[in-house]
Amino acid sequence: MDVVYKNQLMEHTRSEDATERLKSILRVLKKGGTSSVHHSPAAFRPDDISRNFNDGATSFHLKEYRVHER
């Protein structure tokens, strides 16, 4: 693929599966291709229904990443 674009998907991925999902991008991306992965940042939320109940993502968002997390 020339371009891989993921928007608002990583927060729905279990932490233990996240690395494999990102590796899959590299597997299908052509040399010189571009990828873009966007997600809800943990610094401002939880950005799902959890925000109505507590300070952590516990509903549809399984993990909200911070900028320094890889």
- In tens, the pLDDT along 26-68 reads 999 999 999 988 776 665 655 556 666 666 656 567 777 766 6
> Which residues form the domain of 41?
3-52
In a domain, 60, yes or no: no
pLDDT of 40 reads 65
In a domain, 36, yes or no: yes
Please state the pTM of the whole predicted model. 0.60
In a domain, 17, yes or no: yes
pLDDT of 67 reads 66
Where residue 16 falls (left for φ over 0; alpha for ψ -120 to 50; beta otherwise) is: alpha
If one counts the domains in the chain, the total is 1
Is residue 14's pLDDT more than 60? Answer: yes
pLDDT band at 10 (very low <50, low <70, confident <90, very high): confident
CB 67 within 8 A of CB 42: no
In a domain, 62, yes or no: no
Burial (CB count <10 Å: 0-12, 13-18, 19+), residue 22: middle
